[in-house]
Amino acid sequence: MTDPKTPALTDPQPNAKRQDLQADTVNPGGTLTDNMGHAISDDQNSLKAGALGPTLLEDHFLREKLHHFDHERIPERVVHARGSGAHGYFELTRSLAEYTTAQVLTEVGAQTPTFVRFSTVAGFRGSPDTPRDIRGFAVKFYTPQGIWDLVGNNAPVFFIQDAIKFPDLVHSVKPEPHNEIPQASAAHDTFWDFISLTPESLHTIMWAMSDRAIPRSFDTMEGFGVHTFRLINAEGKVTLVKYHWKPVLGLHSLVWDEAQKIAGKDPDYNRRLMWDTIDAGGTLEWQFGVQLFTEEQAAGWDFDFRDPTKIVPEALVPVEIVGRLVLNRNPDNFFSETEQVAFMPSNIVPGMDFTEDPLLQGRNFSYLDTQFSRLGGPNWQELPINRPLTPPQNNQRDGHMRRTINPGRVSYYPNSLDTGSPTPDPQEGFRSHPVMMSGVKVRERPESFSDHVGQARLFWNSLTPIEREHLCRAFQFELANVETRHVRLAMLDQIERVHPVLASQVAIALGEPPRAGQTAKPGGTQDSAEEMALLATANADVTAAGGVQHDPALSQRAPSEHKAEPTPRGRLVALLAGDGVDAAAVEAVQAALKSQEAKFHVVGPHLGDLGGAQATKTFSTASPVVYDGVYALGGTAGGLPLAEHPDAQMFVAEAYRHYKPVGAHGQDGGALLDAVAGRTAPLTFAKDEALGVVTGNPDAFTQALARHRYWNRLSPQA
């Protein structure tokens, strides 16, 4: 049912720019002017009294250019300052008309323009892309019923239950106020001091210490709306909903050593992957899923759907795929679009409503507030990236940088002087669902929010052995960077509530004894395989999860209903080549990779012509850490056979040590692998396809990329 005043969902060309924004896009060319439209004769010399004379105050071109430059920076976001965005569209594939009247969720096939911004949380605007951190996953839907912002993260839960604690959480994780160290890192005293004293954070901390917090790319991480929202159908019936984004390329993460190195080698790693994919005509894609349940159902659970530190396990309520999100157009201008885009969880459309989740309630206040200070006043919604499809009709006027021109004399309602002025629409307008509310004014947490351990254990139980080992290593790294011992000990007590074996393994890396009743290898263990075996059987009793003890959907590796089939699509491979490389070998491996939509760079001793290939990267401008696999071809580098070149050897050894597939062609390539064999300790190296080492078979190597990592190099149990 489409209201005459709100146009039906248009099906924009998937990557077309909205018509109303075309006017705001100034394409370069023509005569250089100042901001007043005056053509400029010379933009390289200020006006002076004689070539050696002083600059004249009357040089209004100079003044305008410098004045604008002096005011180009705006406050960065207080959190999620580091982000990257892209345009695309949301397409509904199954109608939810049974549950809601929101057109964006009822009109199958319509493509709703969207803008998505991915972000880290703690780092400043210029910080690297690959810290250990939760990732923001903010989706702006430009629907005909107004903007819907689904401002989520790549974790389905949050550190705190009540928004009033958010400033404390953020102050604790940001660089410390006395010396502004460390940048974009939780591995410091104030964060873990706060967390050790905030038991409600335990579940989300498990997500933050897992591989989820070092995603390989934006399109190999999940997204979650976190909160439970309400959907209301045409009959006024309420259904509760949680939102999910499932990446079609599957769930993949970096290795922590790799993530740290990428932060130095290519701080823009995730931003660049997304930009290059779209720039080459590719897309990033997720399935959109919903968990639908009723308040009656939820009343029977031993956790509260309003508690943002709790999930509704997929094992309890399956995710139903009802749409997809496709990103296919890069911004024209980073500042105008990605920096100025402004999200608000309070942006919902008719057919939706909030729940009493105290974190959501507080967020609904904070975002509008922050946009005022960040974007300079009340008219930030007029910025092209923030404008709704349908021009606002209301009596709000004036304010800094007002762009809208409202003719006429009437800017109030009701009025009798202007019959055309906007009037509320009791039927089609947004109506809050009439939920019965009552209660005495109190500052307290509900008893139903009190279990802080149960779902942290569910997450732990659901991880595969190698994921548990990574999580344990993450705690070891983070807490070994905490200088204050009592904070480390307090955090060990919290971790012990998840499982004493995990706490003991972390403890020994901190120089502390294993937890009571536990044995552990004295003096710490560097043997990951041994640690993994120890952790693999350390399962815990779960509470507050509706009876679910294990949910494969929480693991990135365990098969579960909506995990995508492994694919080489989107993977980036370094083809190591020297002068005189065999052209046929290069063509064969490039054809194999292209056939599976994988990408490659030819990496050589110098740019340009190598005889059988064109190098677009060199050993000094490329690094194995930004590739998903390495394939050794032949040729010479600096007069040495490739197999004897230390940079080429390092490339293969590092990729192997990060459990990535490595391949080789011919005798030369094989010789390089042999030369590396001794450099991958403690991992043994063998030319064995079962270990992800593929020689002389480009197709098999390409398929090996789909597996992402060969953890079995560490241990058969991995």
Chain positions 139 to 178 lying near ligand HDD, rule: CB under 6 A, are 151-153, 158, 163, 166
Alpha-carbon distance of 64 to 197, in angstroms, equals: 52
Q: Is 138 in the site for ligand HDD (CB under 6 A)?
A: yes
In the complex, the smallest distance separating the C-beta of residue 385 from ligand HDD, rounded to whole angstroms, is: 11
Whichever of 83 and 131 has its CB closer to ligand HDD, that residue is 83
Integer Cα distance of 136 and 113 in angstroms: 19
Per the residue annotation, which of 80, 244, 499, 708 is the catalytic one? Answer: 80
**80 catalytic, yes or no?**
yes
Which of 9, 79, 317, 529 binds ligand HDD (CB under 6 A)? It is 79
User: Residue 708 CB: number of other CB atoms within 10 A?
Assistant: 26
Structure tokens given for 525: 């263990």
- Binding flag, residue 310, ligand HDD (CB under 6 A): no
Q: Is 376 helix (H, G, I), strand (E, B) or coil?
A: coil
Q: Is 366 in the site for ligand HDD (CB under 6 A)?
A: yes
Considering the complex, state which of residue 80 and residue 665 has its C-beta at the smaller distance from ligand HDD.
80
SS3 149: strand
- 500 lines the binding site for ligand HDD (CB under 6 A): no
Query: 77 among the known binding-site residues?
Result: yes
**CB-CB contact of 703 with 663 (8 Å):** no
Q: Which stretch binds ligand HDD (CB under 6 A): 75-83, 249-257, 276-284, 660-668?
A: 75-83
Going from the C-alpha of 714 to that of each of 531, 533, 555, 682, the distances in angstroms are: 11, 11, 19, 9
Q: Would you state the structure tokens that stand for residue 459, as one six-digit string?
A: 């997450």
Count of Cβ atoms closer than 10 Å to residue 117 Cβ: 25
Angle at 40 between CA 34 and CA 42, to 5 degrees: 125
Residue 374 known to bind ligand: yes
The annotation status of 485 as a binding-site residue, yes or no, is no
Assess 370 for contact with ligand HDD (CB under 6 A): yes
- Tell me: is residue 363 an annotated ligand-binding position: yes
| Site for ligand HDD contains 207 (CB under 6 A) | no
Produce one character per residue of 684-699: b if its CB has 16 or more CB atoms within 10 Å, e if not. Answer: ebebebebbbbbbbbe
Q: Give the C-alpha distances (Å, rounded to integers) separating 546 from 203, 315, 551.
A: 16, 9, 12
Q: Which of 15, 87, 153, 227 is catalytic?
A: 153
* Window 380-419: contact mask with ligand HDD (x via CB under 6 A): ----------------------------------------
Concatenated DSSP letters of 14-34: TTPPPHHHHTT---S-S--B-
- Kindly tell me which residue out of 226, 474, 503, 653 binds ligand HDD, with binding defined by CB under 6 A: 226
Least Å distance, CB 160 to ligand HDD, is 7
Q: How many angstroms separate the CA atoms of 284 and 327, rounded? A: 5
- Spatial distance between the Cα atoms of 270 and 128, rounded to a whole number of angstroms: 9
Please report whether residue 309 would count as binding ligand HDD according to CB under 6 A: no
Which residues pair with residue 232 across a beta bridge?
238
136 binding ligand HDD? (CB under 6 A): yes
Compute the distance between CA of residue 312 and CA of residue 545 in angstroms, rounded to an integer. Answer: 7
By CB neighbour count within 10 A (0-12 exposed, 13-18 middle, 19+ buried), where does 670 fall? middle
β-bridge partners, 676: none
The answer to the question of residue 578 lying near ligand HDD (CB under 6 A) is: no
308 in contact with ligand HDD (CB under 6 A): yes
Would you count residue 83 as binding ligand HDD (CB under 6 A)? Answer: yes
60 catalytically annotated: no
CB of 370 to ligand HDD, least distance (A): 4
Does 78 help bind ligand HDD (rule: CB under 6 A)?
A: yes
**What are the φ/ψ torsions at residue 243 (nearest 5 degrees)?**
-105, 145
* Of residues 448-477, those binding ligand HDD (CB under 6 A): none
- Report the nearest approach of ligand HDD to the CB of residue 538 (Å): 29
133 or 478: whose CB is closer to ligand HDD?
A: 133
Stretch that binds ligand HDD, among 23-31, 234-242, 357-365, 623-631 (CB under 6 A): 357-365
Cα distances (Å, whole numbers) of residue 425 to 4, 412, 422: 12, 16, 9
Q: For the CB of residue 157, give the shortest distance to ligand HDD in the complex, in Å.
A: 8
CB-nearest residue to ligand HDD? 136
Spatial CB neighbours of 116, under 8 Å, sequence gap ≥ 6: 85, 86, 88, 137, 138, 139, 140, 325, 327
Rg of the chain over all Cα atoms, to the nearest angstrom? 28
The catalytic site residues sit at: 80, 153
Binding-site residues for heme, in ranges, read 77, 117, 166, 363, 367, 374
Binding footprint of ligand HDD on the chain (CB under 6 A): 77-80, 83, 117, 119, 136, 138, 151-153, 158, 163, 166, 226, 308, 341-343, 359, 362-363, 366-367, 370
Binding-site residues, in ranges, read 77, 117, 166, 363, 367, 374
